[in-house]
Amino acid sequence: MSRSNPRVLATLERAGGFASAQEVYRLMQREGESIGLTTVYRSLQSLVNEKIVDVLRRDDGEAIYRLCGDTHHHHLVCKGCGDTVEIEGGAIEKWAKNMAQEHGYREIGHTAEIFGLCSKC
C-alpha cells in the first residue's frame, strides 16, 4: 500500500484546496518539484481514504480533490463556476437511515450532492 506523499497535500493546499489530479501534477512540475503523475494519483487516493480530502466530479467527469473539514457534510456545487458550498445534511442522514431500515439494509453510507447555478452565474 502506498502512503500519501506530503508534497501532494501541500500542493493541493497551495492550490486553494481545490484541484484535479492533473492540475496538482502540472503545478508541481511548474514549480520544479520532481514527481510522477502516478504518485500524484496514488497520493490523492490515499488522502481520500484517510478522509483528509474529498472527491467531487466536474461536469466533464474529471475528478476534483478538495480539502475538507472532518464533520460529515454535503456539497452545493455551481455548474457554472464550480464554486462549492459545504452544507449540513441532517435531513439526509435521517432519510438514509429510515429508508435503509425499512428495507432491511445495514452498514449504511450515502452520497448526496446538490448542483445548480449560483447567484453570480
Distance CA 6, CA 58 (A): 25
- Beta strands 74-78 and 63-67: pairing type? unpaired
Total site size for a second copy, rule CB under 8 A: 35
Stretch of 17-25, 36-44, 45-53, 87-95 lying at the interface with a second copy (CB under 8 A): 87-95
Distance CA 88, CA 52 (A): 18
Stretch of 11-19, 22-30, 43-51, 71-79 lying at the interface with a second copy (CB under 8 A): 71-79
Residues that bind a second copy (CB under 8 A): 57, 59, 61-63, 76, 78-79, 85, 87, 89, 91-92, 94-96, 99-100, 103-119
